């Protein structure tokens, strides 16, 4: 009787038992087995060199920002002010906001670090990086670790997908307590206010995918002095000494 019912339904074989054609890699090169050694070597070199630089602030922003843009000038100004507070500056080493951050540090006679990445469509290092602080990464994920590990704060100016990637990577690490809370400051209210409003209205209030306290992680300002105040107040309130993350 059950067989007859199954036959009426289209057969007695359970869909789970249907034979499936598995996807296969088109090719696996032997050199892929050695990738982990390349990764380890890149980590080791970066750790050994960056361990010596002292407390820094990472500055993120667009590579496309021109020197006559107000945010280029603002990034350079902020970097100079931070150097006067005793911090070095870490950027992605390229043009735009990255160049501005390194320029501000260089002109203020501070530590100026450039964590560059091999890309086929962007320029190389800017001229304001200390000669012994030029890095050239092959792997994005290693570069991002270095941005976070040696930064006492993050200053994020207008940028594109890469800037958003770096910003939300940091926020995720802080939110999930993979790193201790550290200041993350968004500079440029006309650029960031819409995003923060969307996070508040959509992510928090409508869908409840973040918590109310997460909104405190992303202050927005246009004032270099306030950037420094947020960082100094944070370390004074938390009674923390600058230290590497992770």
- What is the chain's pLDDT, residue by residue, as a tens digit (246 residues)? 555 555 455 555 666 666 778 888 777 665 677 888 999 999 999 999 999 999 999 999 999 999 999 999 999 999 999 999 999 999 999 999 999 999 999 999 999 999 999 877 656 799 999 999 999 999 999 999 999 999 999 999 999 999 999 999 999 999 999 999 999 999 999 999 999 999 999 999 999 999 999 999 999 999 999 999 999 999 988 666 778 886
Is 50 in a helix, a strand, or coil? helix
User: Contact at 8 Å (CB) between 124 and 98?
Assistant: no
Write out the residue range of the structural domain in which residue 146 sits: 35-236
Q: Residue length, the chain?
A: 246
Q: Is 139 exposed, middle or buried (0-12, 13-18, 19+ CB in 10 A)?
A: middle
Residue 242 lies in a domain: no
Residue 17 lies in a domain: no
Measuring CA to CA, how many Å separate 112 from each of 21, 67, 101, 116?
54, 18, 8, 13
CATH code for position 84: 3.40.50.450
Residue 25 lies in a domain: no
Q: What is the pTM of this model?
A: 0.87
Residue 47 lies in a domain: yes
Residue that has been written with the tokens 């086929």 in this structure:
120
Rounded Cα–Cα distance for residues 186 and 195 (Å): 11
Q: How many domains does the chain have?
A: 1
């Amino acid at each position: 009787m059950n067989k007859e019912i199954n036959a009426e339904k289209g057969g007695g074989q359970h869909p789970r038992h249907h034979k499936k054609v598995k996807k296969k890699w088109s090719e696996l090169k032997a050199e892929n087995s050695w990738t982990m050694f390349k990764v380890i070597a890149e980590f080791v070199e970066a750790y050994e060199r960056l361990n010596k630089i002292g407390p820094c602030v990472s500055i993120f922003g667009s590579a496309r920002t021109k020197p006559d843009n107000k945010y280029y000038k603002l990034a350079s100004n902020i970097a100079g002010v931070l150097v006067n507070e005793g911090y070095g500056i870490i950027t992605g080493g390229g043009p735009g906001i990255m160049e501005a951050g390194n320029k501000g540090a260089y002109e203020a006679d501070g530590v100026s670090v450039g964590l560059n990445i091999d890309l086929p469509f962007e320029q190389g290092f800017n001229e304001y990086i200390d000669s012994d602080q030029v890095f050239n990464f092959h792997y994005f994920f290693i570069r991002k670790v270095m941005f976070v590990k040696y930064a006492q704060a993050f200053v994020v100016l207008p940028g594109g997908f890469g800037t958003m990637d770096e910003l939300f990577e940091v926020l995720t690490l802080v939110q999930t307590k993979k790193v201790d809370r550290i200041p993350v400051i968004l500079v440029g209210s006309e650029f960031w206010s819409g995003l923060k409003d969307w996070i508040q209205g959509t992510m928090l209030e409508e869908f409840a995918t973040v918590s109310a306290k997460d909104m405190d992680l992303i202050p927005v300002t246009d004032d270099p002095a306030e950037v420094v105040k947020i960082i100094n107040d944070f370390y004074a309130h938390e009674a923390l000494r600058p230290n590497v993350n992770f």
